[in-house]
C-alpha cells in the first residue's frame, strides 16, 4: 500500500520525532511504499497568501503553487499523521498544510451545490500524537485534534476509510514505562497497518 506520512514537529529528537521514526520504520518493514513528508525539513510554507485565497475556488489554477504536495496526497492509498498537540490543536505548520492543500477538486468536489469527498483514494487514515494535557481536560474542551483526525478527515476520504487515533496524553508527567508501552502500541499498529 502507498502510505503518505505527514510529520509536523521541528525537532527530530523529540518524542514526536521518535514516534515518527517508528511509524516510518514499521510501515517500511511491513512492505508498504512510504512517502514521508517532514513539513519542517522540507520548508513547507503554511501561509495561505492573498493570491492563494483569490484563486481558491478556481480549480484550473488553485493548485499551481502546491501541485507537488497535491500529487503526493492523491497518489497515496493511506495517510498517517504524526504530530504533537499544541494549544489543543494541530501545530500551525500542519494546519497550514490543510489550508493550502485541501482545495476544491482535491479534498472535496463541488457539483450543483453538493459536496462530495475528493480523497477517495485514501482507504486508511491514522494519527499518532502526543498531548501535554491530561485526557479528561482534552475531553472537557471537546478534544478538537481528535475530532479533526477522526471526523473532519474522514468525510473527505473514501466512504469506507478505516480510521485509527493513537494518543499519548499528559506527556510531561508520564513514566518512561508508559512512553515505552505507547511506542510498543504504535509499533504494533504500524506493523499490521
pLDDT at res. 111: 85
Of the candidates 91, 82, 85, 98, which has an alpha carbon nearest to the alpha carbon of residue 19? 82
* pLDDT value at 72 more than 90: yes
* pLDDT value at 139 more than 90: no
Of the candidates 29, 1, 30, 6, which has an alpha carbon nearest to the alpha carbon of residue 16? 6
Strand segments, DSSP code E, in the chain are 2-7, 33-38, 78-85, 108-111, 114-117, 124-131, 162-168
Cβ atoms < 10 Å from Cβ of 119: 21
Mean pLDDT of 59-84: 96
Classified as helix, coil or strand, 79 is strand
pLDDT at res. 42: 96
Domain ranges of the chain: 2-191
pLDDT at res. 110: 86
pLDDT at res. 141: 86
Distance CA 146, CA 98 (A): 15
**pLDDT, the chain, mean:** 95
pLDDT level of residue 19 (50, 70, 90 thresholds): very high
Residue 22, Cβ density class (10 Å: 0-12 exposed, 13-18 middle, ≥19 buried): buried
Start-to-end C-alpha separation, the chain = 9
Contact 168, 84 (CB under 8 A): no
pLDDT level of residue 112 (50, 70, 90 thresholds): confident
* pLDDT value at 10 more than 90: yes
Q: Which fold has domain 2-191?
A: Rossmann fold (3.40.50)
Of the candidates 149, 102, 144, which has an alpha carbon nearest to the alpha carbon of residue 128? 149
Contacts for 139 with CB less than 8 Å, ≥ 6 apart: none
Distance CA 137, CA 140 (A): 5
| 139/180: higher pLDDT | 180
The C-alpha angle 136, 138, 144, rounded to 5 degrees, equals: 150
Amino acid at each position: 500500500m502507498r502510505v503518505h506520512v505527514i510529520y509536523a514537529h521541528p525537532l527530530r529528537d523529540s518524542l514526536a520525532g521518535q514516534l515518527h521514526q517508528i511509524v516510518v520504520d514499521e510501515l517500511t518493514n511491513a512492505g508498504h511504499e512510504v512517502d514521508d513528508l517532514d513539513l519542517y525539513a522540507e520548508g513547507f510554507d503554511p501561509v495561505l497568501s492573498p493570491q492563494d485565497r483569490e484563486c481558491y475556488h478556481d480549480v484550473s489554477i488553485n493548485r499551481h503553487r502546491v501541485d507537488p504536495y497535491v500529487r503526493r496526497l492523491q497518489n497515496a492509498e493511506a495517510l498517517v499523521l504524526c504530530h504533537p498537540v499544541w494549544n489543543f490543536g494541530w501545530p500551525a505548520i500542519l494546519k497550514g498544510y490543510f489550508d493550502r492543500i485541501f482545495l476544491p477538486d482535491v479534498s472535496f468536489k463541488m457539483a450543483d451545490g453538493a459536496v462530495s469527498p475528493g480523497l477517495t483514494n485514501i482507504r486508511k487514515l491514522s494519527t499518532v500524537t502526543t498531548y501535554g494535557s491530561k485526557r479528561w481536560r482534552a475531553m472537557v474542551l471537546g478534544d478538537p485534534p481528535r475530532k479533526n483526525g477522526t471526523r473532519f478527515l474522514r468525510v473527505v476520504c473514501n466512504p469506507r476509510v478505516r480510521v485509527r487515533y493513537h494518543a499519548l496524553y499528559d506527556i510531561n508527567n508520564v513514566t518512561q514505562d508508559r512512553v515505552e508501552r505507547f511506542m510498543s502500541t504504535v509499533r504494533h499498529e504500524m506493523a499490521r497497518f
